[in-house]
Copies of this chain bind each other. A is one copy, B any other.
């Protein structure tokens, strides 16, 4: 049991911090502070900076560009990026489709896609969710009919993040409607430039454009873009959904929010003196910090356990998702509370400070307990897989 970083890990953290300090531009940082949304050019540029350093896809096998780090080091790396804050890596590329191709893809697919992912030459998006499926992902309806060397894809995906920037989409499609719903699904890689694909933006309540609907109308996909075996897609999807272990709790994000909360409260007057000096506020802050510290240790415990068992995802990682999302939401709400009356203003170019985005971020972040396996789903996983209920 090791709940504190050892000397090697601390040195590593310093190295990461120094690298970020030397390479992250103020523009990128401000973009992160304001938005929370990915800024396309920043994501690409930053990924290339990291990739050049050999840190673009540190969690991949070394042969495909991985850094050979322990889970703890990966976690330190991720957290430092979040604390900076630096542009988030495009998880659909480096955490989702990349590992799936490494594990199940053909040699052709590996050579063609992996280097381009590591260098963000291609932008990937995820075609899993459908309008009527919700948490019941496997009930998807988008179908792919085999015709010679092609699949003909028809249907609709939704909640597709950043599809507007995407060069490729990885999709779950139904290739056999006659069997049990999980058994007839395949995993296809589709070029977004193929005729028949339409992207329709969905505006979120904060006014942002992150998610989209993607329509497929007789889209021709070469069969070489099928990952693994036909009708085995559900297995690959499960692998993918459990792959992004290191980033479930998004601790660095919440920590960075708490830092900002202190900063903002120090310059926000309340009853004539800085809010940060009020006991009531400090109590709220301390209570959140305690929960966050507890989650940090819980994450270290999960990571050490995984580091020892090599691979099999711990169902306890559902804790990381539930508590992690609760804390992201609680910290975003804390910022709203600090703003108080100023929280009412919609973002406006007249107020160019990041504080003008706080309320919008709070609205937007209601999604973190919904997307990527809702907290209800996570609790059911805990009840069934861990508690045996």
Hey, which bits of chain A sit against chain B, CB under 8 A?
279-280, 283
Contacts and interface: CB of A to CB of B under 8 A. Distances in A.
How many copies of this chain are found per oligomer? Answer: 2
4 contacts: A279-B279, A279-B280, A280-B280, A280-B283
- Majority secondary structure, A binding face: helix
A273 to B, nearest CB: 14
A374 to B, nearest CB: 19
Nearest to A283: B280
A283 B287 CA distance: 15
A280 B279 CA distance: 8
A356 B283 CA distance: 30
A283 B282 CA distance: 14
Contacts of A279: 279-280
Contacts of A280: 279-280, 283
A187 B347 CA distance: 67
Nearest to A279: B279
A114 to B, nearest CB: 49
A283 B280 CA distance: 9
Contacts of A283: 280
A280 B287 CA distance: 13
A280 B280 CA distance: 7
A376 to B, nearest CB: 16
A283 B279 CA distance: 11
A372 to B, nearest CB: 27
Nearest to A278: B279
A299 to B, nearest CB: 30
A276 B52 CA distance: 62
A283 B283 CA distance: 12
A165 B256 CA distance: 63
A102 B179 CA distance: 64
A383 to B, nearest CB: 16
